Every structure is written in C-alpha cells, then in structure tokens.
Structure 1
Amino acid sequence: MKLKKSLLLVVLLLISSLIVFGCTKSVTNTPAVQENPSDQLSIVASTSWTALIAEAATGESVDVIAPVELRHPPEYDFKPSDIVAVQEADWVILAGYEGFMKKILESNSIDEEKTIQIRTTNTYDHLVAQTRVIAEKLGTLEIQQSWENEFTNVMNSILEQAENKEISQTKVLVHMHMADFVRSLGFEVLEVYGAEELSPAKIGELSKLNPDLIIDNYHNPQGIAIAEVSGVARVELRNFPGPQHKSIIELVTDNATILGLY
C-alpha cells in the first residue's frame, strides 16, 4: 500500500514538473508586444491649403496631392500614384473645387465616409470652424483647441495693429478671392474684381474710384492694369500656402505682414 502511494506521488510530481516546464517555455517564447506604427492617422489632402488646415486640426503630418510649388494648384493633373495615395489613406480632405480630386474620387469608388469637404477661406471664423469639423471627425479636439488658442492670440495681435493704423479709413480694390480676408481685417472695400477678365472700360471705371491700395491674388493676379492706370500701390496675397509656409498661421501672418499689420 505504501509502495503504491509512493509511486502515485512520484507520478504526480512528474506531471506537475511537465506542466510548469511547458508553461514556462510558452511564456519565454512569446514575443514582446510592440506599439503598432500604423496607429498613426494616414491623411491625404488635395492641396497645401486643405493640408495645413488638416494639420492644424489634427497635429498629424498630411500628404498633399497637388505639388506645393504650383501657382494655381486646382489645375493640377493627377498621376496614378495619387490615386493609390487616396485609396490607401484613412482620411481624404478636400475643398470641392479641385477638378482632379473629383476625377479621382468618382473614377475609383473611394469610400465617401473617409472624405471630408471643407471651406477654404482664410478668415478667423472660417478657419476655426473648419478645423473643428475635421477634429470632431478624427477625434483630435484637444489638439485643435490648442491650435485655436494660438491662432486667436495671433489674430488679436493683427486686429490690434489694424485698429492702431486705422485701416478702416484705407480704401481698397480687392480681388474676389481675397475679399473675405480683407474685409475681416477692417479695410474699406470700394469694389471687388476678378469674377471675369477686366475690360479696358472696367479698368478705367475701377481706377476712377481712387483707391488707396489694390489687393490682388497671387494665384491669379488681375489688378496689374488697375494699378498702372490709377498709379496706386498693389500687393499680392496668397490663399494656397507655398513651400515656405509650415502652418496655416504662417500663411495668415505673411499676408498680414504684406499689409503692414504684423
């Protein structure tokens, strides 16, 4: 009886040892869990303008379809690699007027759920509103709020300069695509031009309004003849950020600097 008990005890000890050894071997061979780099958002934007708005909203690096160096990015003709970039992106940001984006989206059955269309106007209210739209979709509201606080401080500084320089008394002719920004700063806008090619008669008519300044559009300048006829200064502002702009705030402050307000 004692012998049977002893044999049973030995068997139990052997089984226990095998179980422990097996478990130990399993644990030591399990690879360590690592962070997945693909957790980072993959965002593609149509132009530098939509890209920097998206970066402000998310804090993420955003890939751009139309080359930043282009003077008028909406006229870009896309490449096959651009289609792949849009297909593989988690999110696609666009403004809606980019013909090349419309072709890519419609021809390749891109999921509408991952596209976000925003309004591209460089006024304080619109930029804040559009960054919030993106941030709500992508869950980056805290990042957007931090950016918004910085942008608010910058705009307050610009508007303070505008008030100190009494720009409400500065009469301007402004290109249609710069009109909202210029009005938001407080300039007196005599008339907006650029909806169509300016005829000699229209150039003469605008010149007779006696503007103090002509605020033109870098991407499609049409005020050169008006400046020559009226003999007043002309400046060009940008809507689409260039290679020198690392943020949408930099673009706004550059435009404000050209106007003597930053």
Structure 2
Amino acid sequence: MNFKKSILFILILSMLSLAIVGCSKPSEEIIAPEENIEEKLNELKIVASTSWTALMAEAAGGNNVTIIAPVELRHPPEYDFKPSDIQKIQEADWIIMAGYEPFMNKILESNDISEEKIIKVTTTNTYDNLVEQTRLIAEKLDTVDLQQEWEAEFTNAFDMIMGKAADNKVENTRVLVHTHMAAFTRALGYDVIEVFGAEELSPAKMGELANLKPDLIIDNYHNPQGMTIAELSGAKRVELRNFPGPEHGSLIELFLDNASKLDIN
C-alpha cells in the first residue's frame, strides 16, 4: 500500500512539473529590451541652418544638432556655405530651416535633397510662436515628451519676465522699435509708437522718427539702424538679438538676456 502511494505521489509531481514548464516562456520573451530613447536621439543626424533654428530643434528635444551658419556671425543668413556643409545636409536625417536663408536654398536647389526630411519653421521670438514651432518639430522627431518638459520651463521663465515687465510699467514707455524686434516688444507690453526698418532709412525719415520723442529705441543687433535716431532724439537705444549668440545655450537664455538688456530683471 505504501509503495502504491509513493508511485502515485511521484506521478503527480511529474505532471505538475510538466504543466509548469508548458506554461512558462523563454526568458528572452519575458524580458523585452526597452529602446533607449537618448541613444536613438544621439544617432539621429539633425542639421539646422542657424543658431536660431538649432536652439528651436533642441527645445523640441533634438540632440547633437549641427549648425551650418557659424554662431559668431552677426547676420547668419548672409553666410557663404562650404562644400563640407553640403555633405552635412546630404547626410542629415532632418533639416531645420526658416526658408529665408539664401545659402540653404542654394544647397537644396543644387542637390538631390528629399523634401520629406525638411522642417520649415517660423522664426519669431514670441512665446506663442516658439511653443507652436517646437511642438511641430517634436512631432516630426517623436520627442513630444521632451518638448513638453522644455515648454514648462519656458512658460515659467516667460511668466517671470512678464511679471517684471508689469512691475516696471513698460506700458508707459514709448518705444521706437526695429521691425524684426516688434513682435517681441509688443508681447512684453511696451507702447510701440512706430516701427522702423528693415529698408534703408533716409535722413528725412530718421528726422521724422526722432521728432516722435521716444523714451526708448529697441534696435536689431543683427542689422542696427537706430543709431542716428537715438543721437537726434536723445533717447536710450538698446540692441536685442533674434539669432542666439555663443553665450546663449538655449532660447530661454536668449529671452532672459534680452529682458536683462531692457532692465527687466
């Protein structure tokens, strides 16, 4: 009787072992390797026309962005490209540009570059536009989560700037502003009495603008035109940047720097 019970017990254990083995899966199926997003981004070749479009790409989540026009240039769209730039663009997975860069248009026209990898953006330094454009880039790069992290940081920085602008009562400051700085200036709340440039100003036009007696002249670092107006009117003149310089590691740093130049800090 005891022998029979032992045999039965052994049979039950054997059946249970087979059942467990049959239900289990190979270890490689249980633990699927997760894709390393950072590694994927590092492998992605992103080429940007200027420092402006490059920092927009980085704000959207792009990594290791190659810039064609040197950051040190005062007016990057005037850059004269080199043969090595053509190769960079040919090998790029994505190309970020605004469309007004002559050197980029020449390269694209003379080489077989797929339009599907070109992302054209609107370069205007306002909060709403930069949020919209970085979202657009992020959708292409599949980096929406990274863009949202940047957007939250950008929102905090911009809210701080706007709060200090309100404290400074900038709405009471009468401003003459260069056309390429007008959107940013209006967004801060200044009283813009006239916009000048980007066409060459005649002596008569400069005299006319000076006679408006502005409190402040906000000029364009990349193409300054307000020096004579400032001399004639006696108003303070400040040069702001659209294209980030070597000292700007992000669009947020550019915004903070421009605000600082306006004594909004």
Which range, TM-score by smaller chain? 0.7 to 0.9
Residue 121 of structure 1 aligns to a residue whose secondary structure is: coil
Separation in 2 of the partners of 1:259 and 1:188?
Answer: 14
**Which position in structure 1 is the counterpart of 2:230?**
227
**Which position in structure 2 is the counterpart of 1:66?**
69
Q: 1:163 to 1:152 in 2, by over 3 A?
A: same
Matched, 1:173 2:164: no
Shift of 1:163: 0.7
Aligned 8 A contact 2:56 2:251 in 1: yes
**Which position in structure 1 is the counterpart of 2:51?**
48
Partner letter of residue 184 of structure 2?
F
Structure 2: gaps (5+ residues):
1-35
Residue 219 of structure 1 aligns to a residue whose secondary structure is: coil
Separation in 2 of the partners of 1:257 and 1:216?
Answer: 15
Matched, 1:193 2:196: yes
Separation in 2 of the partners of 1:145 and 1:59?
Answer: 13
Q: Percent of pairs identical after alignment?
A: 66
**Which position in structure 2 is the counterpart of 1:244?**
247
1:219-241 per-position Cα deviation (integer Å, ceiling 9, x unaligned): 00000000000011100000001
Separation in 2 of the partners of 1:209 and 1:172?
Answer: 10
**Which position in structure 1 is the counterpart of 2:257?**
254
Shift of 1:38: 6.7
**Which position in structure 2 is the counterpart of 1:216?**
219
Structure 1: gaps (5+ residues):
1-34
Aligned 8 A contact 2:180 2:220 in 1: yes
Q: 1:114 to 1:190 in 2, by over 3 A?
A: same
**Which position in structure 2 is the counterpart of 1:57?**
60
Residue 116 of structure 1 aligns to a residue whose secondary structure is: strand
Separation in 1 of the partners of 2:61 and 2:93?
Answer: 13
Residue 215 of structure 1 aligns to a residue whose secondary structure is: strand
Moved over 2 A (4+): 35-40
Separation in 2 of the partners of 1:85 and 1:38?
Answer: 19
Shift of 1:195: 2.9
Partner letter of residue 231 of structure 2?
E
Scaled by the length of structure 1, what TM-score is found?
0.85
1:1-262 equivalences in 2 (<5 Å): 40-262=43-265
Partner letter of residue 102 of structure 1?
N
Partner letter of residue 223 of structure 2?
N
Partner letter of residue 150 of structure 1?
E
Separation in 2 of the partners of 1:217 and 1:37?
Answer: 39
Shift of 1:173: 0.2
Scaled by the length of structure 2, what TM-score is found?
0.84
Residue 58 of structure 1 aligns to a residue whose secondary structure is: coil
Residue 234 of structure 1 aligns to a residue whose secondary structure is: strand
1:179-231 per-position Cα deviation (integer Å, ceiling 9, x unaligned): 00000000000000013111111111101111000000000000000000001
Shift of 1:73: 0.4
1:72-120 per-position Cα deviation (integer Å, ceiling 9, x unaligned): 0000010000000000010000000000000111110100000000000
Q: How many pairs align? A: 229
Partner letter of residue 258 of structure 1?
K
**Which position in structure 2 is the counterpart of 1:32?**
none
My pick for the range that moved more, 220-229 or 189-198, is 189-198
**Which position in structure 1 is the counterpart of 2:10?**
none
**Which position in structure 1 is the counterpart of 2:18?**
none
Q: 1:71 to 1:41 in 2, by over 3 A?
A: same
Separation in 2 of the partners of 1:142 and 1:235?
Answer: 37
Aligned 8 A contact 2:62 2:141 in 1: no
